[in-house]
Amino acid sequence: MIIAEITGSLPAAAGCLAAAIGVGLVGAKAVESVGRNPDASGKILVQSILGMALAEAVAFYAIFLAK
């Protein structure tokens, strides 16, 4: 019988999951904002890209600091 072993890092996985949820929320709210005010799509795009980049930084911190 083969016993499965978890070889990954659970804190890194949790950090990446949190970053994925954050990016999803930022994207959803950006689409909602453009739907409400299409004229502000340029400003919303810039702010959403910055928000997604900051959320992805959490994933990198989690990967590099969890080891």
* Res 36 pLDDT > 90: yes
Average pLDDT score over residue span 54-61? 89
Sequence-separated (6 or more) residues with CB below 8 Å from residue 48: 26, 27, 29, 30
Backbone angles phi, psi at 3, to 5 degrees: -100, 125
CA distances from 51 to 10, 14, 44, 63 (A): 25, 19, 10, 19
Pairwise CA distance, residues 67 & 62, whole Å: 9
* Res 47 pLDDT > 90: yes
Architecture per CATH, domain 10-65, reads as Up-down Bundle (1.20)
Mean pLDDT score across all residues of the chain: 87
Token pair listed for 18: 């949190």
